[in-house]
């Protein structure tokens, strides 16, 4: 039943356990009765931040839709520190929402990115009124998407998100006069125009674009080790056993939270909670067919924005209104190149066979047969001239675009090694998790190794599919310098049909900036230091050290 008349209430207060008041807008049917609640909690303004789904459309279908500013953002009281209050505030808000006079006591949650993770953290709280959630492109920890992406700092994401998305509202809350605010906003606009240069500033703890008084947590969190108690309070992946509600998870092959969204699904799926997973060819919050430099066709929009409301309503109608859920496999995933959808009851698909593709020397430098001769490849990595980010799962799209981008100009650099198959004689699909096993040596106390999987078209265009990084001491501690070590580089996952005549290529290097902070090779970090040195890297491919990539080939 569609409710043609709605009541919209703004700035409705909800008091948290410590006395702080958070404010929400409520959309609900004007018809008398009690309805289930759909709640979202976000830092991007309850009035303007819902860019992918509209509360009124959900409310028209018989829901009380509550959109709340999280603590310390826009209308809500308190101090904002990313995620730190979201477990307790999530519990308290659900309890408040369930006891509203027009609520039937059942609550679902929805939202994307930050307000995808507020759902996961609220589910950790154990509130029994929460019956289902739909975390879209959401993470499962703070460290993994900040200062411990396999040892590296996601520099571009951290600096861009805070400057572009967080700082504007913090300035309006800090400055009391219009003149002070105008000066601060003008400085912010100049910094956004010069972000490309600001990425290069070091040490990061003294980043001039954000003042310590304006955003105290920005520099403070940089100094917290991944094991700091601060992170444990907001880490879902080590608290998955506390989550007992089903989730509809939506991910993108080029999303910065891809592997986290998959892990969130796998937790619920393995525990038979009823979770579903959808993975499209998308970047963060972009559900269109044109992604990066590639057009994935109309099929890419099947689960995109045009159908987002319908998918949410099907999901919540089932869990909150006991309506049948349309037949839907556990996993729907988009195969790039084929440009169509496939389904599976597991992730990864059971028919994905993990197959090593070995690195060798010569014109054809990647083959499915192991090496029989020994060869070493060398390059030098200069932290003052790192490999520029070019597409991928980034979150700094205005300056360093995300998604699939042509890599061929980057591949001319001397600090990138390229290993390529011969043109394929028949099409080959890979779908699933990807890792590089790399035997390498460095003369530096610490360094990084990066890997990128690329689809090379017959005309030479080289589109990135997946990439990863490993900070050497993350895996080998003090045994890095001058030792031959095996490094495992996690490239997360993808699904791609390499067509006949295409080549599979793997790029190996030591930087991807500003997606990741460059390793200064000194044993220190640019968080606190400005010193660096050049690292001389050796990559091995031999019977003893068979460097390779593990590809999930669909048989």
Catalytic residue status for 284: yes
Residue 247, pLDDT score: 98
Whole-Å CA distances, 395 to 50, 161, 452, 498: 18, 8, 18, 27
117 phi and psi angles, rounded to 5 deg: -75, -25
| Closest CA relative to residue 535, chosen from 458, 475, 447 | 447
Residue 188, pLDDT score: 96
Q: How far apart are CA 17 and CA 14, in angstroms?
A: 10
355 and 551 Cβ atoms separated by less than 8 Å: yes
The residues spanned by each domain of the chain are 6-141+239-343, 144-231, 352-554
392 and 335 Cβ atoms separated by less than 8 Å: no
454 and 507 Cβ atoms separated by less than 8 Å: yes
According to DSSP, the β-strands at 35-42 and 103-112 are parallel
CATH number for 352-554 (one of 2.40.110.10, 3.90.1150.10, 2.40.30.10, 2.60.120.260): it is: 2.60.120.260
Q: Please, what are the averages of pLDDT over each run of 10 residues along the chain (555 residues)?
A: 94 98 98 97 93 92 98 98 98 98 98 97 98 98 95 96 96 94 96 94 97 93 94 96 98 98 98 98 95 96 82 97 95 98 97 98 95 97 97 80 95 98 98 98 98 98 98 98 98 98 98 97 97 98 98 96
Beta-carbon-side half-sphere exposure of residue 521 (alpha carbons within 13 Å): 21
Bridge partners, 471 (sequence order): 448
| SS3 at position 225 | coil
Residue 121, pLDDT score: 98
Select which of 249, 284, 396, 502 is catalytic: 284
490 and 148 Cβ atoms separated by less than 8 Å: no
| Closest CA relative to residue 131, chosen from 30, 258, 274 | 274
| Closest CA relative to residue 401, chosen from 509, 511, 294, 503 | 294
Bridge partners, 12 (sequence order): 24
Q: Which two tokens stand for residue 43?
A: 């830092």
97 and 66 Cβ atoms separated by less than 8 Å: yes
Whole-Å CA distances, 125 to 93, 94, 120, 240, 442: 11, 10, 9, 11, 45
The answer for residues whose C-beta is within 8 angstroms of residue 215's C-beta and 6 or more apart is 162, 166, 167, 170
Residue 302, pLDDT score: 86
Indicate the burial class of 378 (C-beta count within 10 angstroms; 0-12, 13-18, 19 or more). Answer: exposed
Catalytic residue status for 113: yes
Q: What is the 3-state secondary structure of 11-24? A: EEEEECCCCCEEEE
The answer for residues whose C-beta is within 8 angstroms of residue 346's C-beta and 6 or more apart is 269, 330, 331
Q: Which two tokens stand for residue 69?
A: 């500013």
Q: What is the CATH number of domain 6-141+239-343?
A: 3.40.50.1820
The answer for residues whose C-beta is within 8 angstroms of residue 536's C-beta and 6 or more apart is 378, 380, 381, 442, 443, 444
Select which of 103, 113, 125, 495 is catalytic: 113
Triad 505, 507, 513: Cα angle to 5°: 140
The answer for residues whose C-beta is within 8 angstroms of residue 437's C-beta and 6 or more apart is 356, 486, 487, 488, 546, 547, 548, 549, 550
Catalytic residue status for 255: yes
- How many Cβ atoms are within 10 Å of 196's Cβ, its own excluded? 13
Q: Which helix (H) or strand (E) holds 320?
A: helix 305-321
Residue 147, pLDDT score: 94
Residue 224, pLDDT score: 95
Select which of 92, 148, 235, 255 is catalytic: 255
- How many Cβ atoms are within 10 Å of 315's Cβ, its own excluded? 23
């Amino acid at each position: 039943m569609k409710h043609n008349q709605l009541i919209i209430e703004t700035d409705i207060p909800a008091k948290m356990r410590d006395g702080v008041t958070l404010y929400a807008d409520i959309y609900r049917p004007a018809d008398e009765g009690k309805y289930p609640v759909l709640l979202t909690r976000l830092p991007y303004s309850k009035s303007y931040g819902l860019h992918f789904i509209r509360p009124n459309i959900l409310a028209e279908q018989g829901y009380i839709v509550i959109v709340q500013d999280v603590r310390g953002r826009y209308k809500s009281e308190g101090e904002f520190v990313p995620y730190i209050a979201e477990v307790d505030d999530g519990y308290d808000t659900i309890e408040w929402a369930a006891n509203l006079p027009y609520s039937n006591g059942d609550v679902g949650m929805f939202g994307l990115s930050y307000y995808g993770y507020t759902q996961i953290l609220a589910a950790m709280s154990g509130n029994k009124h929460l019956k289902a959630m739909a975390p879209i492109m959401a993470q499962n920890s703070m460290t993994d998407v900040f200062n411990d992406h396999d040892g590296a700092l996601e520099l571009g994401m951290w600096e861009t998100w805070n400057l572009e998305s967080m700082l504007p509202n913090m300035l309006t809350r800090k400055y009391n006069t219009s003149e002070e605010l105008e000066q601060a906003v003008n400085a912010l606009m100049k910094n956004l125009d010069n972000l490309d240069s600001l990425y290069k500033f070091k040490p990061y703890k003294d980043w001039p674009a954000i003042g310590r008084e304006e955003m105290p947590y920005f520099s403070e969190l940089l100094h917290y080790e991944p094991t700091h108690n601060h992170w444990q309070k907001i880490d879902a992946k080590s608290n998955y056993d506390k989550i007992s509600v089903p989730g509809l998870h939506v991910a993108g092959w080029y999303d910065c939270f891809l592997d986290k969204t998959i892990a969130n699904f796998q937790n619920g799926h393995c525990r038979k909670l009823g979770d579903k997973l959808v993975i499209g060819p998308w970047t963060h919050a972009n559900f269109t067919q044109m992604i990066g430099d590639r057009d994935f066709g109309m099929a890419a929009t099947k689960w995109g924005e045009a159908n987002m409301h319908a998918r949410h309503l099907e999901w919540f109608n089932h869990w909150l209104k006991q309506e049948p859920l349309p037949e839907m496999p556990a996993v729907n995933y988009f195969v790039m190149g084929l440009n169509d959808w496939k389904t599976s009851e597991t992730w990864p698909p059971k028919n994905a066979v993990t197959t090593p593709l070995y690195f060798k020397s010569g014109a054809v430098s990647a083959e499915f047969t192991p090496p029989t001769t020994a060869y070493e490849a060398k390059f030098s990595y200069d932290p003052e001239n790192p490999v520029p980010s070019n597409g991928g799962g980034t979150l700094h799209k205005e300056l360093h675009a995300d998604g699939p981008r042509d890599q061929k100009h980057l591949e001319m650099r001397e600090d990138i090694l390229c290993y390529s198959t011969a043109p394929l004689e028949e099409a080959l699909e890979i779908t699933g998790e990807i890792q590089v096993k790399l035997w390498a040596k460095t003369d530096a106390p610490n360094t990084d190794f990066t890997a990128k999987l690329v689809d090379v078209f017959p005309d030479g265009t080289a589109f990135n599919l997946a990439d990863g990084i490993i900070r050497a001491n993350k895996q080998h501690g003090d045994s890095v310098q001058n030792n031959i070590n095996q490094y495992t580089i996690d490239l997360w996952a993808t699904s791609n049909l390499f067509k006949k005549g295409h080549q599979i290529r793997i790029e190996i290097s030591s930087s991807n900036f500003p997606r990741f902070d460059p390793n200064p090779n000194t044993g220190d970090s640019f968080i606190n230091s400005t010193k660096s040195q050049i690292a001389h890297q050796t990559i091995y491919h031999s019977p003893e050290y068979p460097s390779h990539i593990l590809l999930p080939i669909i048989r």
